[in-house]
Amino acid sequence: MTELSKSGAAVGEPTAASPASTAFLEVRDLKVHFPTDDGLVKSVDGLSFKLEKGKTLGIVGESGSGKSVTSLGIMGLHTAGQYGKRKARISGEIWLNGTELLSADPDHVRKLRGRDMAMIFQDPLSALHPYYTIGQQIVEAYRIHHSVDKKTARKRAIEMLDRVGIPQPDKRVDNYPHEFSGGMRQRAMIAMSLVNNPELLIADEPTTALDVTVQAQILDLIRDLQKEFGSAVIIITHDLGVVAELADDILVMYGGRCVERGPADKVFYEPRHPYTWGLLGSMPRLDREQQDRLIPVKGSPPSLINVPSGCAFNPRCPYADVPKDNVTRTVRPELTEVGSQHWAACHMTQEQRERIWTEEIAPKL
C-alpha cells in the first residue's frame, strides 16, 4: 500500500494538465470505489458529464448502477462521516462554479453543501429526523448558511412551505415528520433543500416512495421551482418516465459507467444502446396492451467487483453476438458520438443499431 492521502480517502489529485472547467458543473472521469472483504466495489468507474444552470440532467439506471453514488460523490458525502477503517476511494474531478471539489478543503465543501448544492432524498420519512419538527429542520438548514435569528429563519421556513404547496404552513411548520403524509413530507424535504436557493439541486429518486398521483405533483413542483430559481437539477431515477418530461439531457448508467448520454429527445426517440432500449421497454405505457410490449432487460445487474470483461452489459445483451470476433466480451466499448451531443458505448455499428431500433424495437414500444 502506498496510500499517502492522510485523510484516508483517496482524493484524486487533478492532473496538472487538466484545465479548470468553465461549465457550471462538470464531472471528469469520476471513480468511486469501496474496498470490502470480498474485493473492491467499483460503484462508479470513470464517469464524465457537464451540466449548465437552468438545465436538468436525468441520470437513469437500475439500482446498483452507481447513480446514487455519483450524486453522493458530488455532494461530498462519501468523505464526510466515514467512520471505520474502510473509506471510499474517490478519484477524478468535480468542478462546480470553477472550483474542483475533490481536492478542495473539506470544510469548504461542507459550506457549499446545502447552500450551493442541495439534495432531495428518496424516502422523506427516513430522511427527516423523527425527533425534530419540520420547522426546526428547515430553520436549521437555513441558519447554517445565513446568520439570522430564529424568528427570521422561521418566517423563511413558513414561506418555503407555502411555496412548495403545503396548506396552513404557519401551523404545519410545528408538526413532526410523522404527522405529514408522504407527499407532504417530500414537499417539506424540497422546501428544506431549496431554502438557501441552491444553484444545484440533486433529486435522488424523489418520487419512488410516493403514490403515483403524488409523483406527478412532485415532479411538477420540481419543474416549477427550477424555472423560478434557475438552478441546475440532477434527477436520479430508475424510471425513464420520470425524466421524460423533465430532463433536458439524459445519462444512462450501467455497471458504474455511462452507456448513453444525450439530449432527452435523442435518447427517447433515437436511443443507440441496447440497455436504453430495455429501459424504454420497461416504461409503463397506458396506451398499449400488455402483451405487445417489449420484454424488459433480462437477468440481473452486474457484479461491481468482478465486472464482466468487454462490455459490462454483454451477458444480458440480446445483440451481444452482432459485432464480430466476440469483441463485446473482450474489449470495453468507449463512448462514441452517435449524433449531435449524443454519445453511446456499444460495439455495434451505427447502422446495425439504427436498423435494430427502427425495425425491432421501436414498433413494439
Partner 1 sequence: MLAYLIRRLFAAAVMLVVIIMVVFGIFFLVPKWAGVDVALSFVGKQADPAAVAGVREKLGLGDPIYLQVWEFFKGIFAGRTYSAGGDVTHCAAPCFGYSFKSEQAVWPVLTDRFPVTLGLALGAAVLWLIFGVAAGVLSALKRGSLWDRSAMVVALAGVSLPIYFTGMLSLAIFAFGLKWLNAQYVPLDQSFTGWFGGMILPWITLAFLYAAMYARITRATMLEVLGEDYIRTARAKGLREQTVIGKHAMRSTMTPILTMLGMDLGALIGGAILTESTFNLPGLGRAVLDAIRNQDLPIILGVTLITSLAVLLANLVVDILYAVIDPRVRLA
Nearest to 190 by CA among 121, 117, 116, 113: 121
Based on CB atoms, which residue is closest to partner 1, 204 or 270? 204
Window 82 to 101, contacts with partner 1 (CB under 8 A): 83-85
Residue span binding partner 1 (CB under 8 A) among the ranges 49-57, 108-116, 160-168, 229-237: 108-116
* Helical (H) or strand (E) element with 276: helix 274-281
Based on CB atoms, which residue is closest to partner 1, 126 or 306? 126
DSSP assignment letter at 291 = G
Q: Give the burial string for 116-131 (b: 16+ CB within 10 Å, else e).
A: bbbbbbbbbeebbeee
Cα distance between residue 156 and residue 139, in whole Å = 8
Shortest distance (Å) from residue 205 CB to partner 1: 12
Single out the residue of 31, 89, 113, 187 in contact with partner 1 (rule: CB under 8 A): 113
Phi-psi domain of 364 (left: phi exceeds 0; alpha: psi -120 through 50; beta: other): alpha
Q: Which long-range contacts (CB under 8 A, 24 or more apart) does 353-358 make?
A: 353/272, 353/273, 354/272, 356/274, 356/319, 356/322, 357/270, 357/271, 357/272, 357/277
Based on CB atoms, which residue is closest to partner 1, 129 or 227? 129
The three-state secondary structure class of 246 is coil
Cα distance between residue 151 and residue 156, in whole Å = 9
Shortest distance (Å) from residue 83 CB to partner 1: 5
Based on CB atoms, which residue is closest to partner 1, 124 or 255? 124
* Helical (H) or strand (E) element with 142: helix 134-145
Residue span binding partner 1 (CB under 8 A) among the ranges 79-87, 96-104, 255-263, 334-342: 79-87
Shortest distance (Å) from residue 182 CB to partner 1: 14
Based on CB atoms, which residue is closest to partner 1, 134 or 250? 134
Nearest to 252 by CA among 242, 234, 267: 267
Size of the site for partner 1 (CB under 8 A): 32
Shortest distance (Å) from residue 354 CB to partner 1: 42
C-alpha to C-alpha distances, 296 to 218, 312, 313, 359, nearest whole angstrom? 26, 17, 14, 17
Shortest distance (Å) from residue 350 CB to partner 1: 41
Residue span binding partner 1 (CB under 8 A) among the ranges 76-84, 159-167, 234-242, 249-257: 76-84
Shortest distance (Å) from residue 177 CB to partner 1: 9
Q: Is 208 exposed, middle or buried (0-12, 13-18, 19+ CB in 10 A)?
A: middle
Cell (9 digits) for 282: 420497461
Shortest distance (Å) from residue 61 CB to partner 1: 20
Single out the residue of 23, 53, 77, 294 in contact with partner 1 (rule: CB under 8 A): 77
Cα distance between residue 141 and residue 146, in whole Å = 9
Q: Is 298 exposed, middle or buried (0-12, 13-18, 19+ CB in 10 A)?
A: exposed
The three-state secondary structure class of 58 is strand
Window 185 to 214, contacts with partner 1 (CB under 8 A): 192
Based on CB atoms, which residue is closest to partner 1, 141 or 236? 141
Based on CB atoms, which residue is closest to partner 1, 174 or 334? 174
Based on CB atoms, which residue is closest to partner 1, 229 or 365? 229
Per-residue x/- marks for partner 1, 136-175, CB under 8 A? ----xx--xx------------------------------
Residue 175, amino acid? N
Single out the residue of 110, 155, 238, 293 in contact with partner 1 (rule: CB under 8 A): 110
Per-residue x/- marks for partner 1, 114-133, CB under 8 A? xx--xx-x-x--xxxxxx-x
Residues engaged in binding partner 1 (CB under 8 A): 72, 75, 77, 80-81, 83-85, 110-115, 118-119, 121, 123, 126-131, 133, 140-141, 144-145, 176, 178, 192
